[in-house]
């Protein structure tokens, strides 16, 4: 796997503001697929800028698409989301 290609792909992630763009990026990610790249992708998806919440539907689409063949993507992401949710709920 070419780390530069993965980094380039992850840098393009915030610019995916349409179904076509996120679907294209999802296909490209499949060619870079490895356990390490999936972990890096999950971290990138989780750390969506809080000022860019319009990206959430597209990031969710990517996760849903990948989850059909990469079962560990949602199982890595879910505990991170639950922890963040619980932190925000308990924060006064």
pLDDT for 73: 96
Instruction: Quote the CA–CA distance of 32 and 21 in Å, as a whole number.
Output: 17
- Angle (nearest 5°) at CA 64 between 76 and 84: 40
Question: How many residues comprise the chain?
Answer: 92
Quick one: pLDDT band at residue 1, thresholds 50, 70, 90?
very low
Domain positions in the chain are 3-90
The packing angle between helices 3-12 and 35-46, to 10°, is: 20
Give the model confidence (pLDDT) of 13-65 as tens digits. 999 999 999 999 999 999 999 999 999 999 999 999 888 999 999 999 999 99
pLDDT for 49: 83
Tokens 């992630």 appear where?
A: 13
Mean pLDDT (the chain) is: 93
**SS3 state of residue 71:** coil
pTM for the predicted model, two decimal places: 0.88
């Amino acid at each position: 796997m070419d780390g530069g290609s993965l980094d380039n792909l992850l840098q393009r992630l915030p610019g995916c503001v349409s179904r076509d763009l996120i679907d294209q990026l999802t296909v490209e990610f499949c060619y870079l697929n490895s356990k390490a790249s999936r972990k890096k992708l999950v971290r990138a998806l989780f750390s969506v800028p809080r000022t860019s919440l319009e990206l959430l539907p597209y990031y969710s689409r990517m996760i849903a698409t990948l989850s059909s063949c990469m079962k560990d993507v949602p199982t890595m992401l879910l505990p991170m989301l639950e922890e963040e949710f619980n932190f925000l709920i308990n924060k006064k």
